[in-house]
Structure 1
Amino acid sequence: MKIPVPSTRPATPSPDLEAQAWNWLRLLTSGDAREVDAQRFQRWVRSSPSHRAAYGEVKRRWDAIEPSARELLRLRPEAAALEMPRSRTSSSGRRAFLGAAASVAAIAGMAVVYPPLGLWPAPDEWDVDDRTATGEQRSLALSDGVEVTLNTRTSVRRQTDGDRTVGLVLVHGEAAIDLAGGGRSFVVVAGVGRSLAESGQFEVRHLEGKVCVTCVEGTVRVEHPAGVRQLQARQQTIYHATSVSGISRVEPQAVPAWRLGVLVFNQTRLTDAIEEINRYRPGRVMLVNDTVRNKPVSGRFAIASLDLALWQLQEAFDLHARSLPGGLLVLS
């Protein structure tokens, strides 16, 4: 399903249309939306340019304050009791807007960026060109000897120049890029940075605001507002919205493990290992035993046999497993 979102900043919408747009954003990110709701939203947003502009403006404003709203929810859980205001006047100013935005955050929670259990795509993923489901991997043969492999739960938009694909926007997930070497740079945009290469192989992982770029073969230039990194084979760098790390070496057996059908953990915290397994497994595994949360995990686990991997972790850390409806597995 593609949801049209304006790429340019529109004029300020009317208060009534803006209230409708906030209500749509709340519904579509609440986890309660159904397919019929998505169809109704499509009809609403396509009914007139003013509807499209109103939703685009609301989404732009939400994107601007969403990190602060999430932090507010983390520090003040009681904010979840706020209710979405039905309307506001155009003269209500910044204070009223922030209140409305915080209310949307309270109602939608972190589902705007990370939908619960992955049951509904986040707003940034509505208009993507290619998307993989849980546990799915897909290869895209693009122009001029460019092949891209998308890992599980990955969403991308294609950047084109005429009939030629010159790059990708990695909205969420993980992609491996193989370049035969045609003398032209291929660009992968993720967050505020971008990675460029003419030949070789590199990977870009974009999860929860953190981007990791790994050069497997050849060289990759990583451009970020905070600096530029030139990666050689078996090197990687990590960046966030405001910072970029130095260059570090990567163990040969760790990259690209997922393309070989395995997950590799090297002194990885148990809670992080389980979160990685969750990306590949339908449903959700929840660790509720705080005493083992930070215990290290090392090993290679087959992606095709993740239930076996979970049983091994259960035995290694003396955990009790309880299966619940909806694919939920609780480890305690």
Structure 2
Amino acid sequence: MTERTLSEAEYDAITDAAAHWCMRLHAADCTPAERLAFKQWHDADPLHAFEYEAMLEIWTVADHLPRVESTAAPAPASRPRSRSRWSRLAVAAAVLALGLPLAAFTGWNLGWLANSYQRFEAGASVRHITLDDGSQVELNLGSELVYANYKHERRVTLKKGEAFFDVSHDAQHPFVVRAGQGQVRVTGTRFNVWMYQDQVRVTLVEGSVWVTSNQALANNGSRLSPGMQASYKAGDYQPQVREIGPNDSSLAWRNGKLVLDDLALSDALPLINRYLDHPVMLADNSTGALRVGGIYNLNEVQNLVPSLPKVLPVYLTRNKDGNPALNSIGQRPANN
């Protein structure tokens, strides 16, 4: 997939919208209707999400700027902090938008701002990309990431999907992958990160990585050696670590395959749903305990769900959200 090319006016409009939403969402009087409108704007285009994250970096800079003093009458007592932060955000945004060399140097030197951003996404095929630091990345179908180079670290945010990293070694400039609520920290190695909703799985091929399940608790983690895998989900205090065998299928996607090795449906569906527009749900725990296996081409995973009733004692219905639901034979249709 090629990168989109926008006119300067189109790009400026997106940046202006990102600044507007950043200020409104941090305002005390932001309404539920505004938050809904923001979500619709944010989700409408990956570039909207990317520009909003960049604006949040500016918001962080605003917190470090001195408070703006005013000789005018004081603001109402209920909103002094919001007004002050709006003023500092405006100062930070104006300085950064003008691109003053001193501001850029100061922001970089203090570790507030990155000197480069890259956004990549893969559509219906695996995509091979090279980051600015020389690291190589393979993006699985339907995956998206953002790369930013800061003074003290190289940072990737895996927005969705899966990626295999071959990281350029730099002991003084760690490489950090943020996925879900946790992160992976390395200096140079080869590893895979899979993410679906709030579930994350890290598989190490070469080198060493430090995996944490909570970005706020960077010291509470586990160090992986080659042949080990760490898994976590939202709310986990520590990642769950296990050794994987030589026949582990976690990296089969790099060969265009999805391998289900006699898995319970409850474990298989997250792997399947990663490739579907509408996730398949389970009617109950007994349905989730049924086991499934097989090797499937990634581009044909959407055909797997309709075929399940042919190989398992299940039938398909739809829940109230319109998503397909699997019911084991003998169970009543799912109504939730």
C-alpha separation between the residues in 2 aligned to 1:206 and 1:150? 12
SS at the partner of 2:18?
A: coil
C-alpha separation between the residues in 1 aligned to 2:19 and 2:41? 20
> Does residue 309 of structure 2 align to residue 309 of structure 1?
no
Give the corresponding residue for 2:239. Answer: 245
Unpaired runs of 5+ in structure 1? 54-88, 92-126
Q: Deviations over 1:174-203 (max 9, x none)?
A: 221012545553221234433222333112
Q: Deviations over 1:89-146 (max 9, x none)?
A: 996xxxxxxxxxxxxxxxxxxxxxxxxxxxxxxxxxxx9933344x543222113430
Instruction: Give runs of aligned pairs for residues 117-266 of structure 1, distance below 5 A.
Output: 129-133=119-123, 135-161=124-150, 166-181=154-169, 184-223=173-212, 225=217, 227-239=220-232, 240-252=234-246, 253-266=248-261
| Conserved? CA contact 2:153–2:174, under 8 Å | no
| Conserved? CA contact 1:204–1:211, under 8 Å | yes
| Partner AA of 1:131 in structure 2 | E
Unpaired runs of 5+ in structure 2? 1-13, 60-75, 79-116, 328-336
Distance apart, 1:312 and its partner CA: 4.5
Equivalent residue in structure 1 for 2:35, among 9, 25, 30: 25
Distance apart, 1:157 and its partner CA: 2.3
| Partner AA of 1:176 in structure 2 | F
Distance 1:7 1:174, change over 3 A: farther
| Conserved? CA contact 1:28–1:38, under 8 Å | no
Question: Aligned Cα RMSD in Å?
Answer: 4.6
C-alpha separation between the residues in 2 aligned to 1:143 and 1:12? 32
Distance 1:249 1:24, change over 3 A: same
Instruction: Give runs of aligned pairs for residues 58-97 of structure 1, distance below 5 A.
Output: none
| Partner AA of 1:130 in structure 2 | F
| Conserved? CA contact 2:175–2:185, under 8 Å | yes
Distance apart, 1:170 and its partner CA: 2.0
Query: Which structure has the higher relative contact order (CA within 8 Å, separation 6+)?
Result: 1
Instruction: Give runs of aligned pairs for residues 103-122 of structure 1, distance below 5 A.
Output: none
| Partner AA of 2:242 in structure 1 | S
C-alpha separation between the residues in 2 aligned to 1:213 and 1:288? 29
Q: Deviations over 1:55-97 (max 9, x none)?
A: xxxxxxxxxxxxxxxxxxxxxxxxxxxxxxxxxx996xxxxxx
Identity across the alignment (%): 23
Distance 1:213 1:322, change over 3 A: closer
Distance apart, 1:256 and its partner CA: 0.9
TM-score normalized by the length of structure 1: 0.57
SS at the partner of 1:254?
A: coil
Larger Rg: 2
SS at the partner of 2:261?
A: strand
Distance 1:211 1:330, change over 3 A: closer
C-alpha separation between the residues in 2 aligned to 1:242 and 1:331? 28
Distance apart, 1:241 and its partner CA: 4.0
Q: Deviations over 1:134-169 (max 9, x none)?
A: x5432221134301122234332222147x992312
> Does residue 29 of structure 2 align to residue 4 of structure 1?
no
Q: Deviations over 1:196-254 (max 9, x none)?
A: 22333112233333332221122212245262322111102223445113531123332
| Partner AA of 1:269 in structure 2 | A
| Partner AA of 1:301 in structure 2 | Y
C-alpha separation between the residues in 1 aligned to 2:149 and 2:301? 37
| Conserved? CA contact 1:292–1:317, under 8 Å | no
SS at the partner of 1:280?
A: coil
| Conserved? CA contact 1:142–1:165, under 8 Å | no
SS at the partner of 1:13?
A: coil
Distance 1:136 1:322, change over 3 A: farther
The count of residues paired between Structure 1 and Structure 2 equals 245
TM-score normalized by the length of structure 2: 0.56
| Conserved? CA contact 2:170–2:188, under 8 Å | yes
